[in-house]
């Protein structure tokens, strides 16, 4: 079976900034593929190249077997693109925006209404409102409707959940899951590590390079270290003390606790407990845990020497 997206050694530089350093990956048809990484990792550059808005300096990329440089006209028919910055017409109404995008692609709202129905119906009560006056969550739904209205094969969503609150973020991912069930290939980027688990495959990206590509479960399985979740009555002092432990690989705050990583076999729970009680900590709890994608990301950043720039 052919891949929906096939990228080989893609490179893009701006002056002396290497936005993308020979990136390669492929996305199977019908897959939900996530690029996980912070601002400045190169996500937006990559999406703009795939959307045929800018040209790469090197390498190649195919979307449904069409070359992004030669066959850009074809690709534009095949993809739905939602840029990171809200870029619908603020002074057109909700309905006018959707109609505009349908018309541009030679279709009508009515023809593809089924596809956008579930999302668009949530904002339809406000269809006469100007897009500029919508709340963040509603803007996002309208933008997704506009990217979908011509029935694209591949959806490119660049940070659709950035700046959106936790509730709208969750709703958005539920919508993506249902779109995927309709057979649409989705490539999405996000700076939120916790969204990684909702993808079929993830690429962890930092500083223009992909650190790892795999399924979320395999990313977690490949974490090379042991990990404890540690908490005491003073978690700030705890972090300072854990960082002084001789066998420590890393100690990071993680919500209510600290995550302490160590080379397997080199540190027992009891040792940590003893050390902490010597330091005067009370109510010490130490639990061995499975890492999250965020733990994996931090570990990869450290081993690739990008932690301390």
Binding site for other proteins (CB under 8 A): 37-41, 123, 125-126, 135-138, 162-168, 170, 191-193, 206, 235-236, 239, 252-256, 294, 297-298, 301-302, 307, 309
Report the nearest approach of other proteins to the CB of residue 191 (Å): 5
Question: Distance of alpha carbon 84 from its chain centroid, rounded?
Answer: 12
Q: Which is nearer to other proteins, 52 or 168 (CB)?
A: 168
Report the nearest approach of other proteins to the CB of residue 237 (Å): 10
Q: Which is nearer to other proteins, 149 or 204 (CB)?
A: 204
Report the nearest approach of other proteins to the CB of residue 32 (Å): 21
Q: Which is nearer to other proteins, 59 or 84 (CB)?
A: 84
Q: Which is nearer to other proteins, 4 or 193 (CB)?
A: 193
Report the nearest approach of other proteins to the CB of residue 193 (Å): 6
Report the nearest approach of other proteins to the CB of residue 253 (Å): 5
Specify whether the CB–CB gap between 201 and 33 falls below 8 A: yes
Q: Which is nearer to other proteins, 52 or 206 (CB)?
A: 206
Q: Which is nearer to other proteins, 30 or 137 (CB)?
A: 137
Q: Which is nearer to other proteins, 8 or 284 (CB)?
A: 284
Report the nearest approach of other proteins to the CB of residue 106 (Å): 31
Report the nearest approach of other proteins to the CB of residue 250 (Å): 9
């Amino acid at each position: 079976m052919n891949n929906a997206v096939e990228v080989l050694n893609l490179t893009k530089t701006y002056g002396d900034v290497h936005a993308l350093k020979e990136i390669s990956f492929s996305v199977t048809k019908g897959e939900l593929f996530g690029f996980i990484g912070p601002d400045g990792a190169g996500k937006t550059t990559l999406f703009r190249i795939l959307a045929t808005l800018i040209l790469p300096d090197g390498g190649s990329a195919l979307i449904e077997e069409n070359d992004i440089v030669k066959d850009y006209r074809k690709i534009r028919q095949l993809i739905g693109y939602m840029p990171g910055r809200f870029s619908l017409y603020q002074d057109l109404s909700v309905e006018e925006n959707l109609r505009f995008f349908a018309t541009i692609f030679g279709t009508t709202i009515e023809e593809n209404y089924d596809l956008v129905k579930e999302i668009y119906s949530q904002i339809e009560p406000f269809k006469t409102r100007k897009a500029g006056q919508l709340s963040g969550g509603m803007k996002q739904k309208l933008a997704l409707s506009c990217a979908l209205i011509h029935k694209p094969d591949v959806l490119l969503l660049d940070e659709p959940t950035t700046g959106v609150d936790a509730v709208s973020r969750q709703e958005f991912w539920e919508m993506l899951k249902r779109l995927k069930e309709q057979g649409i290939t989705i490539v999405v980027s996000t700076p939120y590590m916790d969204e990684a688990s909702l993808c079929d495959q993830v690429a962890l990206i930092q500083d223009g390079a992909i650190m790892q590509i795999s399924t979320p479960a395999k990313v977690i399985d490949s974490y090379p270290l042991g990990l404890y979740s540690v908490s005491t009555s003073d978690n700030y002092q705890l972090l300072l003390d854990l960082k002084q432990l001789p066998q420590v690989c890393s100690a990071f705050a993680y919500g209510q606790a600290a995550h302490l990583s160590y080379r397997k076999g080199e540190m027992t729970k009891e040792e940590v407990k003893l050390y902490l009680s010597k330091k005067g900590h009370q109510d010490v709890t130490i639990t061995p845990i499975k890492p999250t994608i965020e733990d994996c990301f931090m570990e990869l950043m450290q081993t690739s020497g990008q932690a301390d720039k």
